[in-house]
Amino acid sequence: MRKLPPLNALRAFESAARHLSFRLAAAELGVTPTAISHQIHLLEEICGQSLFHRRPRPLRLTKAGELLFPVLRNGFDSFSAALAALPGAAGGDTLRVTTPNAFASRWLVPRLPRWREVQPRIALEVIGTDRPLNLASEEADVAIRYARRMPTEHVAQELFRDSYFAICRAELLPQGKPLNQLADMCRLPRIHYDWMKNDAETPTWRRWWMKAREIEPGLPRDADACQLSFREEAHAIAAVLAGQGVAICSDIILAPELERGELVKAHMLSLPGLGFYLLRLPEHPRKHLIMLFADWLRSVA
């Protein structure tokens, strides 16, 4: 009879060795990094030697780990191929995700290659819409909602929250750095876009200048006048990217451009934003996929 280590320990090692990351392995397998570490320690005890060099970072395989990894990788690949070849087998799971348009196009889509790296067999069908879809009628498996407070429908969990800053291209600022004086913002062309209705705390230029006047009471009364105005947020963002002015924007929605330095915060004064919440039905048949997706969202935020 074959004497093999626990399957969970083998899966944890194979995933961690493939990603060279306990965190990414945890996101792939739907567990915590601590659980991955415990499983690998168990496997190392069975093998009688270390499989990873943990210090100094980054994580590296030992000689024993280099011998074991390709055997396990090829074995799991063979298992997967054999299962897929069975008559009637599905070609992989699909998770239907609905999100607001801006979040889908500006935050989620640029990060999808990372999802495919860790979950190549779980396809995502992204439904970008500003109309909340009905999960109970199976229009989608999981929803990402943008709201000021935790939604009360279904099962909800907060993923992250954003803040709103005055954001523009670096070329519009002296030395490309944030302004120190609030009054200097008056020299920049300001861009406005319509916000959701029935929200008294909208992060607009009017509220930004109200907060600015609490710091510097002598600011001009007409400072909240805008040179460009759009109905759609996407058009205002396009104008900001084109260098046409500065707009009050979410640091989550524009995270890729801020990270790359294409856009900068014109001033560090900010307005509180809203929360991004993940919603699902209590006993959804794809609950395990939804949990994997939620863990991945938090890991790349």
The confidence score (pLDDT) of residue 89 equals 46
Q: Which are the contacts of 222, defined by CB distance < 8 A and separation ≥ 6? A: none
The residues, ordered by sequence, that sit 6+ positions from 266 with a Cβ below 8 Å of its Cβ are 165, 166, 167, 168, 172, 173, 178, 179, 185, 188, 246
Write down the pTM of the prediction. Answer: 0.64
Measured between alpha carbons, how far apart are the two ends of the chain, in Å? Answer: 46
pLDDT averaged over consecutive 10-residue blocks of the chain (301 residues)?
A: 82 89 83 91 93 86 91 76 50 80 88 90 87 82 90 87 96 90 90 76 89 87 77 88 95 91 94 93 84 88 75
Q: Tell me how many degrees the CA angle 215-229-251 measures, rounded to the nearest 5.
A: 55
The pLDDT assigned to 65 comes to: 93
Helix 7-19 / helix 63-85 crossing angle, nearest 10 deg: 110
What is the amino acid identity at position 97? V
Same fold, 7-85 and 93-160+277-300: no
Instruction: Render 69-125 in DSSP notation, one character per residue.
Output: HHHHHHHHHHHHHHHHHSTT--S-EEEEEEE-HHHIIIIIHHHHHHHHHH-TTEEEE
- At which residue do the structure tokens 């996407």 appear? 234
Helix or strand (DSSP H, E) at 203: none
Copy the structure tokens of residue 45: 């005890």
List the structure tokens of 72. 């396990």
Give 107's Cβ-side CA count (13 Å radius). Answer: 21
Task: Write the CATH number of the domain with boundaries 93-160+277-300.
Answer: 3.40.190.10
Q: Which of 19, 116, 29 is nearest to 69 (CA)?
A: 19
Query: Could you confirm whether domain 7-85 is CATH 1.20.120.640?
Result: no
pLDDT attached to residue 82: 58
Give the model's pLDDT for residue 224. Answer: 66
Contact (CB, 8 A) for 252 and 160: yes
Give domain limits for the chain. Answer: 7-85, 93-160+277-300, 162-271
Per-residue model confidence (pLDDT) at position 75: 81
Helix%, strand%, coil% for the chain, nearest 5: 45, 25, 35
Q: Which CATH superfamily is domain 162-271 in?
A: Periplasmic binding protein-like II (3.40.190.10)
What is the chain's alpha carbon radius of gyration, rounded to the nearest angstrom? Answer: 24
CA-closest candidate to residue 101, choices 65, 131, 66, 71: 131
Question: From CA 28, how far away is CA 60, in angstroms rounded?
Answer: 19
d(CA 167, CA 246): 5
| Measured distance CA(129)–CA(105) in Å, rounded | 10
